[in-house]
Chains A and B, each alone.
Chain A
Amino acid sequence: MNIIGISSYYHDAAAALIADGNVIAAAQEERFSRIKSDSSFPIHSIDYCLKEAGLKLTDIDAFVFYEKPFLKFERLIETYFYLAPSGFISFVKSIPSWLKEKLFLKNEIKKHLKAYDSNCNWTKTKILFSSHHLSHAASAFFVSNFNNSAILTIDGVGEWATSSIALGQDNKITTLLEMRFPNSVGLLYSSFTYFLGFEVNNGEYKVMGLAPFAEDEDEQVIGFKRIITSNIVKIFEDGSIELNPFYFKYASSLKMIHEKRFELLLGIKKRRTNDAILKVHYCLAKALQLVLEDILIKMAIKAKQITGSNNLCLAGGVALNCVANGKLLESNEFDNIYVQPAAGDAGGALGAALSAHHMYYHIPRKYNASFDLMLGCKLGPSFALLTIENALKRCNLSYKKLSENELIQKTNDLLINGNIIGWYQGRMEFGPRALGSRSIIANPLMPNTLSDLNIKVKKREGFRPFAPIMLKEEFERLFGQKHDSIYMLFVHKILPKYRIKVPLYDDDIYRTVNLARSVLPAITHVDYSSRIQTVTESTNKLMYQLLVEFKKRTGFGVLVNTSFNIKDEPIVCTPEDAINCFLNTNIDALIIENYLIIK
């Protein structure tokens, strides 16, 4: 049984292939088209999935779209009717794309696939539709190793649902509670993302990175939190919320909020994209983050109450809020928490395929001894050595081919001398994180690594932190944590004995962020926190060896790991993408498989 899941037309299009219940391949369309968050039909991703498995289109039993367009259309129509006459402009703008394309999705999918391979046989191959939050739930539960779990999905909006609590048992997911549009945790967070001058759907993690500049107890934070919870959002004991429609516009317009009403209430101007980041901005980000954590933990407790399970699966865009995930884990409400690494809509493609496999075709699940069925998230393409060598020759680059041992030694020499390295190994990651396949790595012990990476290499906002990749035993030694964090989805604080006490400078976050706060300055954010990825020999052998050697030389089995791209570009996919990124930035050395190129 071969099934391909598809997500597209909104943001972050992707395709995922499962064969007999095993996850074989998955990739986001942006990696091939090189358009950030590309939402177009993922024909390149489908092509890659088929080639990876050595299948033809005619070998596929079903294509499953990750949400139900009719239900979504019904929500749009009902919302516009309810809010009429306001929303008329938004209605006129959105309806043509529905009447041309989105409403006739089955035909659209057939049309795209027919253009790809005219031998498609629609009597054999089915086109199915999963619901948005079921796709999210399935993407987490069916790849986890739990046979029984509470499942919590939280995002902006799917069809009607914006959050759901479900019970997963073997090959069945039963939705128990839903929160519906327009009350949405994701849209609440996105609204403040917009107010703080960042891009909706792309800037939420910047708000998360901004929040730690303020202390929980800061008077401004407390004040903002009080204003938010008493005027903008009402939080109930079960974690459900009610947003005050007086402040929001997203239901009836293409804008998120009533800017003037937000400004009057909060007493500050909306931040424009290039405005300086002041204390009020990071205090507001912190207040919002605290509100989100409060909601998430309440929802999780409710999920535990109604499912009776000590396991929790998390998915949906909000599940990428690693700070909230870390707090939830530290609350010890659950024995085990599994977060789908591609928790956003791209992961919905995988969930759609899995939900059809287990719940439409009723095929029992497979469990294995490894952490999950995600293959360490390495579900994207890899390239043969010959292809890489040809790409290097085409670009007239001089390179050295190294043995595995030479590679480890030479890379460590470069890291210890403060070089920034493009690290390209094996299959590309699926989801938003670079996990050691398409990464930029650097020495975390050097204080200038953070500013060098932010400004010279990534060309992004200087306040943003970098994440560490570390040996699992270092996670316990430095952070006091025993769980696995192989997908970089939990934030924890470094133990007090490794911290260096330094001040916070109000209204000068760039001065603040560049002060060394621990023995590992490049990966310790201003509140001593880090978004950690752990590595064992079985999850990533080469990276494990690299970290072991780095520990032998420096005493720390930790490196900086950030995605191999620059601001506003997708992570590199092919060797050519990696070479281009290397040549156009201040990356000092590039390692593609075992080829070393030094600038």
Chain B
Amino acid sequence: MDFIKDFFDFLKSQKKWWLIPVMLALIVLGLLLIFAESSAVSTFLYPIF
């Protein structure tokens, strides 16, 4: 929660709202990458990356 609050404060102070969709996309991508490292799903992700 701390992170979300801090990041929101940062976006507000820097007026960089366009980073929100980028961050969301990156989090999804990041989660996929982390998940792919240690799971059977990696075989199916391989064609994507």
Residues 1-49 (chain B) with a chain A CB within 8 angstroms: 2-3, 6-7, 10, 14, 16, 19, 22, 26-27, 29-30, 33-34
Stretch among A93-101, A250-258, A535-543 lining the B interface: A93-101
Task: Kindly state whether residue A107 has any CB partner on chain B within 8 Å.
Answer: yes
**Cα–Cα distance between A423 and B18 once the two chains are bound (Å):** 57
Assuming the contacts A95-B29, A95-B30, A96-B33, asked whether A77 and B22 have C-beta atoms less than 8 A apart, the reply is yes
Are A99 and B6 in contact, CB atoms less than 8 angstroms apart? no
Are B3 and A77 in contact, CB atoms less than 8 angstroms apart? no
**Cα–Cα distance between A100 and B3 once the two chains are bound (Å):** 13
Contact digits for A275-312, partner B, Cβ 8 Å, 1 yes 0 no: 00000000000000000000000000000000000000
**Cα–Cα distance between A81 and B14 once the two chains are bound (Å):** 18
- Name the prevailing secondary structure of the A interface residues: helix
Contact digits for A69-110, partner B, Cβ 8 Å, 1 yes 0 no: 011001001000100000000000001100110011011000
Q: Nearest chain A CB to B28's CB is how many angstroms away?
A: 10
Q: Nearest chain A CB to B35's CB is how many angstroms away?
A: 12
Are A106 and B29 in contact, CB atoms less than 8 angstroms apart? no
Assuming the contacts A77-B19, A77-B22, A96-B34, asked whether A70 and B6 have C-beta atoms less than 8 A apart, the reply is yes
Chain A residues whose C-beta falls within 8 Å of the C-beta of B6 in the assembled complex:
70, 106
**Cα–Cα distance between A107 and B3 once the two chains are bound (Å):** 8
Q: Nearest chain B CB to A474's CB is how many angstroms away?
A: 53
Which has the most chain B C-beta neighbours within 10 Å: A77, A81, A106?
Answer: A77
Are B14 and A74 in contact, CB atoms less than 8 angstroms apart? yes
Which residue from chain B places its CB closest to the CB of A103 in the assembled complex? B3
* CB < 8 Å neighbour of A70 from B10, B22, B26, B29: B10
**Cα–Cα distance between A240 and B35 once the two chains are bound (Å):** 45
Chain B residues whose C-beta falls within 8 Å of the C-beta of A104 in the assembled complex:
3
* CB < 8 Å neighbour of B2 from A70, A74, A95, A106: A106
Assuming the contacts A74-B19, A77-B19, A77-B22, asked whether A107 and B34 have C-beta atoms less than 8 A apart, the reply is no
Are A96 and B10 in contact, CB atoms less than 8 angstroms apart? no
**Cα–Cα distance between A74 and B19 once the two chains are bound (Å):** 8
Chain B residues whose C-beta falls within 8 Å of the C-beta of A99 in the assembled complex:
26-27, 30, 33-34
Chain A residues whose C-beta falls within 8 Å of the C-beta of B22 in the assembled complex:
77, 81
Chain B residues whose C-beta falls within 8 Å of the C-beta of A74 in the assembled complex:
14, 16, 19
A-B contact pairs, 22 of them (CB 8 A): A70-B10, A71-B14, A74-B14, A74-B16, A77-B19, A81-B22, A95-B26, A95-B29, A95-B30, A96-B30, A96-B34, A99-B26, A99-B27, A99-B30, A99-B34, A103-B3, A104-B3, A106-B2, A106-B3, A106-B6, A107-B2, A107-B3
With contacts A96-B30, A96-B33, A99-B26 known, what are 8 further pairs, Cβ within 8 A? Answer: A74-B14, A74-B16, A77-B22, A81-B22, A99-B27, A99-B33, A99-B34, A104-B3
